[in-house]
Amino acid sequence: MANDLSVTFWGVRGSIACAGPEYVRYGGNTSCLEVVAGGRRLIFDAGTGIRKLGLGLCAAAARMEEIDIFFTHTHFDHICGLTFFAPLYVEDRKVRLWAGHLLPEHTIVDVVKHVMAAPLHPVSLDVFTADVQFNDFTCGDTLHPAPGVVVRTARLNHPNGATGYRVEHGGRSICYITDTEHDGVAPDASIVGLCRDADVMIYDSTYSDAQYPAYRGWGHSTWQEAIRVGDTANVGTVAIFHHDPAHDDAWMDRVAAEVTAMRPGIAANGLPRVLVAREGTTLRP
């Protein structure tokens, strides 16, 4: 327990949730990760995947539990599940929301108030009965959300800003890099720096290199770039993430085959050197 570190994928889809038989194997919920480190629960992004995670957390423990939710950014696919996160409606829970991309123009409490207001939403954030705290930081800050858990951050290249994260605990590390656009020349130096020698790097792989030119400026990257960044940063396992809603299970199977051919084998952490993130799976590097 003391040195536990894991990440569970509750939502792997980018842009908009998608349902249907063609999405059952990789999943249709938008971005949400659950990292457990040193017995503490850190959630990254509040896409639609956070709803099911929250239901499980309410069923699991009656005791006071502190939960931290870190936003990469507040585009709708990353925040639309927040008001459906059940622990926000449990009185003995403490939930801290963190964002690093908003200052100085905005704050995270203002963004949540804005989303939870007429005519977008029927009730305001007063409806939360948990002890909810709002924490703004600046990309590049290092955070210490719990004893022995370090969260490093870096700025990503995305419209309206976004924050990349690296969670360190017990000598291991998991990086979460979405949403971000590469420059097509060389891997982003600040991302490479943040992810250097990480055990796992979860990376925005919305497009292929072939598709990308049609979407330049939209703020997303490719699965080939994920491999290039992972190799440059000496990452153990690269996880392909933020799947485009147009890419169904059959498409993602082809992506999995392609990236596995590019980066075959098993990493020192015991996981494949590359994998395609699937909703419901847990990685323990």
Binding site for Zn ion (CB under 5 A): 14, 75, 77, 179
Based on CB atoms, which residue is closest to Zn ion, 45 or 68? 45
Based on CB atoms, which residue is closest to Zn ion, 36 or 46? 46
Burial 158-183 (b: 16+ CB within 10 A, else e): beebbbbbbbbbeebbbbbbbbbbbe
CB of 26 to Zn ion, least distance (A): 16
Based on CB atoms, which residue is closest to Zn ion, 34 or 179? 179
Q: Is the peptide bond before 119 cis (omega within 30 degrees of 0)?
A: yes
Based on CB atoms, which residue is closest to Zn ion, 32 or 256? 32
CB of 158 to Zn ion, least distance (A): 6
Based on CB atoms, which residue is closest to Zn ion, 16 or 58? 16
CB of 216 to Zn ion, least distance (A): 15
CB of 164 to Zn ion, least distance (A): 13
Cα separation, 119 vs 122, in Å, equals 7
- Beta-bridged to residue 97, according to DSSP, are 69, 134
Q: Which residue is nearest to Zn ion (CB)?
A: 75
* CA 36 to chain CA centroid, nearest Å: 13
Handedness of CA 140, 54, 9, 75 (dihedral sign): negative
Based on CB atoms, which residue is closest to Zn ion, 37 or 111? 111
Single-letter amino acid code for the residue at 158:
H
CB of 131 to Zn ion, least distance (A): 28
Tokens 């951050």 locate to 153
What is the rounded end-to-end Cα distance, in angstroms, of the chain?
14
Using alpha carbons, list the distances in angstroms from residue 135 to 24, 51, 102, 263: 35, 22, 11, 38
Based on CB atoms, which residue is closest to Zn ion, 37 or 240? 240
Lookup: tokens for 164: 């990349």
CB of 86 to Zn ion, least distance (A): 23
CB of 181 to Zn ion, least distance (A): 10
In terms of Cβ atoms closer than 10 Å to its own Cβ (0-12, 13-18, 19+), residue 105 is exposed
